[in-house]
Amino acid sequence: MDNEAIVKALDDLRGEVKELRLHIVGDKIQKITGVVDILETHRKEIYGDEDTRHVGLKQLQETDRARIVSLEGDRMKVMAVATAASSVVAIVWILIKAFFLK
């Protein structure tokens, strides 16, 4: 190979490296979204962003789980109160029936 071919091959490689870097990192001026931008966007969606106070999916999932547990506890309390009220009404009815409605 002569020197011109080597220089041309090096120039081609530099161009390919520059293009690869552009697609990996991205360029906001040329409106090219890079792989790093995509990964950062996904990270912000999953874990949130403290700078913009964006809530991520992980935090939403934890909040929803806590709310479900809280609602389940409320449901159990309502069932206990309803059972107790029903038992009191049944006992009062049995006492009225036994002593007053002979």
8-43 tens-digit pLDDT = 999 999 999 999 999 898 888 888 888 898 998 898
Domain residues of the chain, as ranges?
Answer: 1-54, 56-102
Predicted TM-score (pTM) of the model is 0.58
Percentage of the chain exceeding pLDDT 70: 98
Give which of 89, 80, 32 is closest to 72, Cα–Cα: 80
